[in-house]
Chain A
Amino acid sequence: MIETDNLIQDLLGIGGEDGLSTGQAQLDAVALDGQSPRAIVRPSTAEEAAAYLKYANSHGLKVAIRGGGVHSGIGNPLEWLDIVLTTERMAAITEYSPADLMVGVQAGVKLSDLKAELAKNGQFLPVEAAGLLQGATIGGAIASNTSGPFRLAYGPARDWLIGVKFVLADGTIAKGGGKVVKNVAGFDMMKLFIGTLGTLGLIYEMNFKLLPLPPLTSTLVVAFDDYQAACGLALKAIDTGTFPSALTVLDRGAALAVGLPDRTATLLLEVRNTAQALERQVRDITGLCREAGAAGPDMLDGSQEQHDLWQKVTGFGYRELSGQGLALKVSTLPDQSAALLTQAHALADRLSLRISLLSHAGHGLSWLTGSYEDEDKALEFVRELTSWAERLGGSVAAERLPLALKQRVGDVWGTALSEGELKLMRGIKAKLDPERTLGPGRFVAGI
């Protein structure tokens, strides 16, 4: 570390008192991997953010970027931390044109606020994130590439991002894309920046495509005695053309966690459409349930009731971990959901972990939470599940781990990436953040 005796004075010189926090309690509240920063900076403009980053970059200081703090813990242990840069003062909706189904937002806008604003015009942005009620920001959701159940209908978040503005570590302010829904001019910097966890630059502003809210929705709850039957029905619902918008299979623990009855396996389906078509979808799915010999389905029609349930499902991976808990995001092919549920429970039983698992059986992402007593066994669990998923072409991201376990895991994203991919990723990092100012060590393979 390079000594910066005048750190505080220098930071004050850039953004004044409004842009700086140095109280120990505040610093400790944003600690990452057991490290409290020496200062928190809160730029109110891209230019201010650029000045802070340029300063840090030229003084060898290491910076972590923070939105609502919901996803800040994702990643490998930070090598070092001097400054936390928060987006809380860059929180304006810069442009909202309902007639164009387009919105421009600064990174610090809270997802819940954005959702409310768009709903006033009967529109929504299909970007889902855990921690909606805990202050998750749109910048954080994009930086960590979050997903939820409705990815089945709308695709990943990246499909909705049409423009991005960012600040690089050296203070360069640049952008990609624009504000129209089709645009092939220049390289796709939106794709480059999504999911980078602040390791390539600060995403400070984004433009998104929007959609009209669905006219009507129905949620069906079906109970099963085994995972295979639940996941089988989920895939059948797609293949027979009932066009579900979300399909989620929950084990016993996950069902209880979202307030559903205690069943071995529960399948949640959601359909959205106009009245007549919705009726037909529900009828067809009910027929599939009968064929499969399942009871029900139970129907949730009240929109608030449905909304609350799906919000809990989306938030499942996120909890304030106390003590020895973990949360893993598992990626498999959709037809491996049942195998994942079986495999994870067999492993957990053998290694004495208590786990809950929720699998979006239509798109292949699952979230697993668990608690353990024996750290060695927890480590073995993460490693074995990771190598199982990787053998089948998927991956595991150990998103939330206590620091002691995180330090032992190696890479929280496992070993799925080839040397060829890593070489390109390291090359990109070296070009855009050569001093490794931004979140050093946090990304895959310690990038």
Chain B
Amino acid sequence: MDKQVLVAELLKIFGPDGLLYAPEDVLVYEYDFSLDKNLPEAVVFPSNTGQLAVLLKLAAENNIPVTPRGAGTGLSGGAIAVRGGIVVAMARLKKLMKLDVANRYAVVQPGHVNLELSTEISPSGYFFAPDPASQKASTIGGNLALNAGGPHCLAYGTTTNHILGLEMVLPGGEVVRTGSAAPDRPGYDLTGFIVGSEGTLGIVTEATVKIMKKPEAVSTFLALFEDVGAASDAVSAIIGAGIVPAALEMMDQLTIRMVEEALQAGYPPEAGAVLLIEVDGLKESLDELTGTIVKICRDNGAFDVKSATTEEARTKLWAGRKGAAGAFGRVAPNFYLHDGVVPRSKLPEVLRRIGEIGVEYDLVIANLFHAGDGNLHPNIMFDARVPGVMPRVIEAGEKILHLCVEVGGTISGEHGIGTEKQEYMSWIFTEEDMATMRKVKDVFNPAEIINPWKVFPTKKSCGEISLKMRLLKALPNMDEAWI
């Protein structure tokens, strides 16, 4: 469709306040926190489901690609309009529609910011458990599209465990509601299948989410180790002893130093590695649980343990952890953040081998990650202006991910596949696996009107849209990314 005609049509649906189409206006919608970018023709801001239904009818009839976007904090390119077309920014669909404390659920629009939901319902004594590090900015819609994780997934499960029902608009404009606040709606679990599909099946316009009673007490502490090897032994020992803390995070020395310089969060720079551990529950249970974990840490080489004795100290420790990625920008102008997962018992071996990969490729790699889940976030630090560095960065990253797969793990624990890892899907899935997934996708979005060219490998002939090629072209500033 001719751009002028398109703009006229979009104006009819969204009005002048709900539409951007000048190149300089849509420029900031060309990227997210992945390494990818592409310019859309227009950005629309729906304020109700009806507008989206009309848009998707128009899009289907004219084969215009439509890409939904939350806060744009995604790390795998899910919000990038790789085929151009229209970006649907969900910023105005951000209301809390309903809070039912007795039945422990809330109904929210997808643009609702994650942390604001917990803040808003806090007086009721309940909270929304998924807590990706981006939670100050990222939206529930983005969280559920990516099945977001976060430090407390260890105990509470990932986003999918907390989504009970959805309203979604399909290509063509049909609005369908799935799931329900009451358990076990009959039929196939459409809600469960849609969550984590990276916005490639339809556009979610409302979510019914589970809320949980806040724990009565929390104990947060740091265990200090000489090196990541000892710290990862401790992680394996804690899980192996049958203890599942609320959160169990690791940072290596480089990360600790950067976080301290940037945020003064209370991390000891002398430690070679720290574990940030949190347990929650009734106050009577915390002393015993904390004591057991501390003993395991000491048995595995922890030389000190520091407890956050005040709420302020606890908040600072978490601010350091969740703001860590931002601190990387102080050390190197660019970093490439990975998201592999390994069986927890393999952590010591895998971290050692990641160190070797860094040496082999002459790259600095910092580690901060969800150790309790085996979810690694190696960050390759570099300066893209140095000639010849990019191929090394990409190859080292591939080697790390491949290592995760070799030991029985996977290529993404929480960031998603998007455009970033679609070519790696064949490392873990056969043609039959992916063909089956695609068949189900075709039921929802057969012509790929919504969020095209994501998740699955592109055809070899489309080499020009592979991540590697685009990566070599340009890199956005990553200073404010969250992990």
Contacts and interface: CB of A to CB of B under 8 A. Distances in A.
Interface stretch (B86-94, B99-107, B299-307, B329-337): B99-107
A280 B312 CA distance: 28
A102 B216 CA distance: 29
A443 B188 CA distance: 9
Contacts of A175: 429-430, 433
Contacts of B342: 180
Nearest to A419: B176
Nearest to A431: B439
A365 interface: yes
A413 B186 contact: yes
Nearest to B413: A182
A410 interface: no
A274 B291 CA distance: 13
Nearest to B427: A185
A275 B370 CA distance: 29
Given A184-B146, A185-B417, A212-B242, A174 B433 contact: yes
Interface residues on A, range: 35 or more
Nearest to A100: B343
Contact of A184 (B180, B374, B417): B417
Given A184-B196, A277-B284, A334-B103, A195 B188 contact: yes
Contacts of A294: none
Contact of A424 (B100, B190, B408, B410): B190
Interface residues of B, number: 87
Contact of A432 (B104, B189, B439): B439
Contacts of A191: 160, 189, 191-193, 195
A432 B440 CA distance: 8
B235 to A, nearest CB: 11
A276 B439 contact: no
Interface in A233-259: 235, 238-239, 241, 243
B184 interface: yes
B193 A182 contact: no
B178 interface: yes
B185 A331 contact: yes
A421 B187 contact: yes
A364 B182 contact: yes
B147 interface: yes
Interface string B233-271: 000100110111000000000000000000000000000
Nearest to B198: A184
Contact of A180 (B184, B343, B432): B343
A343 to B, nearest CB: 15
A145 interface: yes
A364 B100 CA distance: 14
A260 interface: no
A425 B187 contact: yes
A102 B341 CA distance: 14
- Scoring B186, B193, B213, B444 by chain A CB atoms within 10 A of each residue's CB, the highest score goes to B186
A323 interface: no
Given A173-B432, A191-B160, A393-B181, A184 B188 contact: no
A414 B180 CA distance: 15
B120 interface: no
Interchain residue pairs A-B with the least CB separation, the first 3: A191-B192, A212-B242, A420-B176
Interface of B: 100-104, 125, 146-147, 149, 153, 157-158, 160-161, 174-178, 180-193, 195-197, 213, 216, 236, 239-240, 242-244, 281-282, 284-285, 288-289, 341-345, 370, 373-375, 408-417, 421, 425, 428-430, 432-437, 439-444, 455
27 contacts: A100-B343, A100-B344, A100-B374, A156-B184, A158-B192, A159-B157, A159-B161, A174-B432, A174-B436, A181-B341, A182-B414, A184-B147, A185-B411, A185-B429, A186-B433, A196-B188, A239-B102, A243-B281, A273-B281, A277-B285, A279-B284, A280-B282, A332-B182, A333-B181, A335-B102, A418-B176, A421-B187
Given A101-B239, A191-B195, A395-B180, 17 more contacts: A159-B161, A180-B342, A186-B433, A188-B192, A189-B437, A192-B189, A212-B243, A243-B213, A273-B281, A277-B285, A279-B284, A331-B183, A392-B182, A395-B182, A418-B176, A425-B188, A427-B443
